[in-house]
Every structure is written in structure tokens, then in C-alpha cells.
Amino acid sequence: MSSSSSLSNPPTLALRNGLKHPVIGFGTYKVGVIPASASSAVASGGPSSVERTAEECVADALDVGYRFIECAQFYANESEVGKAIAKSGVDRKDLFICSKVWTTTIEQGPQAIEEQLMKTLADLGTDYVDLYLIHWPVPGKHVEAYKTLEKLADSGKIKGIGVSNYAWEDYVELKENGVKNLPLVNQIEINPFLYRKNTISKFAEDGVVLQSYRSLRDGKAFDDPTVLRIAESHNRSAAQILGRWCVQKGFVYIPKSVKKERMVENSEVFDFELSEAEMAELDSLTTPKAIETFGSLYRKCVNRDTSKDGTLDGVKMTITED
């Protein structure tokens, strides 16, 4: 299977509403824009410089063959993504577009959420999104926000609703508060270095498909000895091993790059398989420290950019971390 054909006609996962979700997509976080509160921008004291515009990068991704484009209000580049889509000549029916509503809008309530959805649609140049996600489970606000998306979905502007960064306990909170159409997906960090088996199993058993962000760990694991050894045995790159692990596990794989050749490389994960032993080796790379770090990050981020930023007000202190 060639890279282009794999991308233009990739394997799909069936969502519980019948939607067919491509197993691979192009992520647009920090593509063309570094959001002001992104960790890298905060660490450097301001927005970092970017190599290329989001329009240029997404144009390349579409040209290479990616058809699932992962977006978000927070990424601050949806208008650029929309320009690339408009100029690409790719039919809307052949695209699968996912976006997410940010914490600030979630906190402001239903009207702000509806207005943001309309802005996202206008920026992306489309009448609907295939998936619209709650970006973080903002304490005291995310259930109302989710119910708002349920109402908006009735208009046809949202084909499917999902969540992102939800702990199992956040999902249970939705169920306990009368949500009728449960999330189709949960987008969380998943890679061999943060493989939360218990959480993933709970969601999978309840019919939720897992989208993986940081599938390639931002390149920070490309020199890991285990990954490199397995890569060498298959004559593959470290990125391709991490990507193959992701799709072989049954997760949605969302690599990102600003370089066209890397976009191609990242996508070439459908023409080889990892052995059971290799998969088990990769599974074992998650350390207790990684799980602990995840828990701290969750508690820090659920109130991120809201009026309660920097506090633990309303934050669930006990969640399923592993």
C-alpha cells in the first residue's frame, strides 16, 4: 500500500453513531502559530517563531494525501487551515474535520460555545464539522458545554460529539448528569511512554474510540534505545515504529510536522507489522513517574486560561491515572 493511497483511503474505525473515522490524520497544533499559553511559549516568555504558515503546511498535508484534519479553537490557525482546504480542490465529502472548543469559551457558557462553533465553521470554510470536542473537562462547566453541543448537533452543523483530555471520572460525570449521546471519541496523549492501560480499557469497553495526540512524543523519543532497535530491525524510522504501535493498538494516529517529507514518512505505517514481542516491549516503556506526571498535568490544565487558572478550584483530585 502506497503512502498516498493509505492516506486518501485509510483504514477506518466505526464510531457508535455509524460515522467512519480515519485511523490517521494531520494534527495542526503549533502549525504556523504557537498559542500564547502553550508550554513552549510560556517557557520562552512569548510566542516562538514558526518555520512556515499553517496554510502552507496543511496544503502540503492535503497534497500528500491526508484527509483527516485535526483542528481546535486554541490552535489559533483555523482560518489558515480553511484557506488551504479551499485551495486544495479536495471535495468536502472526502475530508474528515475535527475541531475542539477551548476552556475560555466553555466557561462563558452556551451562547459563547455556539458563537465559537459558527466562527470555526466560517474559518474552516465548511457547513459542518465531522467531530466537535470539549477540549478540557472544565470543572463545573463541561457538562453544560457538552449538552450545548448535543443541541447544536441537532442542527446538522456537528456530525459527532467527542471529548478531549477526559479522565474516566469526567466521562462518568457526563453519564450521571443525563447526557444522552455519549462521546464518540476521547482525544488523549497516547504513546508507548504514556500508555494508560486501565483508562484506555475502560473507555474502549464503553464504546469510546481513542484519538492519540503526541503519538510521536514531539520527537522526544526518537533516540530511545528500544524504539531504535525495533526500528533498525524493520528498516524503519523511530517515528514509523511509534506510529505503527499506535494504529496496531487500534487508536487514531495524529502525527504532525511542518516538513512535507516528514508528513510522508509519518504516514508510512500501513505496510508492516510489529510482532507481539515488540509490541509488549513498547508497552513496557511507560514508567510510574510518567503516570504521576500525567496526573499533575491534568490537575493543572483543566482550569487552564479560565478565571480559575492556577487554582485547583473544582478539580478532581482523585482520578484514574493509569
Q: Do the strands 12-14 and 20-22 form a parallel or antiparallel pair, or are they unpaired?
A: antiparallel
Q: Catalytic residue positions?
A: 75
Check residue 129 and give its pLDDT.
Answer: 98
Predicted TM-score of the model (pTM): 0.94
| pLDDT of res. 94 | 96
| pLDDT value, residue 4 | 43
Q: What is the pLDDT of residue 3?
A: 43
Q: Mapped to the 3 state alphabet, what secondary structure does the chain carry?
A: CCHHHHHHCCCEEECCCCCEEECECEECCCCCCCCCCCHHHHHHCCCCCCCCCHHHHHHHHHHHCCCEEECCHHHCCHHHHHHHHHHHCCCHHHCEEEEEECHHHHHHCHHHHHHHHHHHHHHHCCCCECEEEECCCCCCCHHHHHHHHHHHHCCCCECCEEEECCCHHHHHHHHHCCCCCCCCEEEEECECCECCHHHHHHHHHCCCEEEEECCCHHHCCCCCHHHHHHHHHHCCCHHHHHHHHHHHCCCEECCCCCCHHHHHHHHCCCCCCCCHHHHHHHHCCCCHHHHHHHHHHHHHHCCCCCCCCCCCCCCCCCCCCC
Under 8 Å between Cβ of 304 and 136: yes
pLDDT along the chain (322 residues), means of 10: 59 96 97 80 54 94 97 98 97 97 98 98 98 98 98 96 98 96 98 98 98 93 96 98 98 97 96 97 97 97 97 96 96
